[in-house]
């Protein structure tokens, strides 16, 4: 299910070209265990960032972690910068990708001037912090008409909820840099309109996460090393089922695992309204 919400003029849309961008992404990335799950998310995200990638624009990757996605975005054409809170991860990313720029800093008070970037990308970061504050920072550092994509884990997926409960019961801590504070709820997505004039969001993966259960259980109880899920026939069939169900029954979106949110900032560079999310202030 895809929702397009507008509260003002919309910039040029870069829909389409999903296949082209996915192929390019896969060409620059090493395949790894999550890839079948990432593919539709990346295919949704990259066309929105295409104007920045194609023009060699400035792109900020917020919460860049080990740096692999920042480096991929640089290889796709952007002048990419990774922003990361953890000094250890920044050091590791610089070591692994010496030609990509990584900056140590806080997404809630970004160490960049207003209007520094043409695009912003973040993956599983809103769940780690006060995302309302992060969004106002994203808006500040974007140039007029700039674009951003946020890929997040939703709160309501029964599979993800079972996984999170299992981790709690087994007292299995997250790695420090992956520890979630609170997951985004599908119903909260329209709140982004308080910061950006155009917001599009789409849910992914309803039943496909079921395929992760056996390898996760094998790792927990059998000491298996890697959660490996190929993109085989079961995955393809379940993906088709998910897409059809989400199209026909949009209300199921709040049970999906992932959401891709695509936003465009104001073309005037001025905030649409003087708003602190959740607390509307008058102008």
Ligand X SMILES: C[S@@+](CC[C@H](N)C(=O)[O-])C[C@H]1O[C@@H](n2cnc3c(N)ncnc32)[C@H](O)[C@@H]1O
Contact residues toward ligand X (CB under 6 A) are 63, 65, 69, 83-86, 89, 106-108, 123-125, 128-129, 177-178
**Closer residue to ligand X, CB minimum distance, 1 or 260:** 260
**Closer residue to ligand X, CB minimum distance, 70 or 266:** 70
Measure the CA–CA gap between 171 and 194, rounded to whole angstroms: 38
For β-strands 101-104 and 2-6, DSSP reports them as unpaired
Measure the CA–CA gap between 90 and 92, rounded to whole angstroms: 5
Residue 56 C-alpha from the chain's centroid? 21
CB of 180 to ligand X, least distance (A): 7
| Residues in Cβ contact with 76 at an 8 Å cutoff, skipping those fewer than 6 apart | 21, 24, 25, 28, 46, 53
Torsion from C-alpha of 56, 59, 61, 62, nearest 10 degrees = 180
CB of 90 to ligand X, least distance (A): 9
CB of 106 to ligand X, least distance (A): 5
CB of 274 to ligand X, least distance (A): 24
Measure the CA–CA gap between 18 and 37, rounded to whole angstroms: 15
Burial (Cβ within 10 Å: 0-12, 13-18, ≥19) of residue 120: buried
**Closer residue to ligand X, CB minimum distance, 1 or 74:** 74
**Closer residue to ligand X, CB minimum distance, 124 or 243:** 124
**Closer residue to ligand X, CB minimum distance, 106 or 243:** 106
CB of 110 to ligand X, least distance (A): 8
Other CB atoms within 10 A of residue 165 CB:
10
Whole-number Cα distances in Å, 222 to 46, 47, 78, 173, 175: 38, 41, 42, 18, 20
CB of 142 to ligand X, least distance (A): 17
**Closer residue to ligand X, CB minimum distance, 21 or 131:** 131
**Closer residue to ligand X, CB minimum distance, 40 or 65:** 65
The contacts found for 33-40 with CB under 8 angstroms, 24 or more apart, are 33/226, 33/227, 33/228, 33/229, 34/229, 35/231, 36/208, 36/229, 36/230, 36/231, 36/235, 37/205, 37/208, 37/229, 37/258, 39/231, 40/204, 40/205, 40/239
**Closer residue to ligand X, CB minimum distance, 193 or 229:** 229
Place of tokens 């919309």: 10
CB of 107 to ligand X, least distance (A): 3
CB of 104 to ligand X, least distance (A): 9
């Amino acid at each position: 299910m895809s929702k397009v919400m507008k509260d003002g003029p919309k910039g040029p849309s870069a829909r389409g070209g999903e296949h082209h961008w996915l192929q390019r992404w896969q060409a620059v990335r090493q395949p790894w265990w999550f890839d079948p799950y990432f593919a539709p998310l990346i295919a949704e995200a990259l066309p929105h960032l295409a104007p920045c990638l194609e023009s060699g624009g400035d792109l900020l990757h917020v919460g860049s972690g080990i740096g692999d996605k920042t480096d991929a975005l640089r290889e796709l054409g952007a002048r990419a910068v990774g922003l990361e809170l953890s000094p250890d991860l920044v050091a590791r990313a610089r070591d692994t990708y010496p030609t990509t720029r990584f900056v140590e800093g806080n997404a809630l008070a970004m160490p960049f001037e207003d209007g520094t970037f043409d695009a912003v990308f973040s993956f599983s970061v809103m769940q780690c912090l006060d995302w309302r504050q992060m969004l106002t920072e994203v808006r500040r550092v974007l140039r007029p008409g700039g674009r951003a994509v946020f890929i997040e884990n939703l709160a309501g997926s029964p599979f993800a909820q079972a996984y999170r409960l299992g981790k709690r019961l087994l007292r299995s801590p997250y790695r420090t840099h992956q520890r979630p504070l609170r997951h985004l709820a599908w119903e909260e997505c329209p709140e982004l309109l308080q910061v950006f004039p155009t917001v599009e969001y789409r849910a992914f993966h309803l039943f496909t996460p079921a395929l992760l259960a056996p390898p996760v259980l094998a790792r927990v109880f059998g000491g298996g090393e890697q959660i490996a899920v190929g993109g085989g026939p079961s995955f393809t069939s379940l993906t088709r089922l998910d897409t059809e169900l989400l199209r026909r029954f949009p209300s199921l979106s709040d049970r999906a695992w992932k959401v891709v949110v695509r936003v465009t900032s104001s073309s005037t560079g001025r905030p649409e309204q003087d708003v602190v999310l959740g607390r509307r202030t008058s102008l």
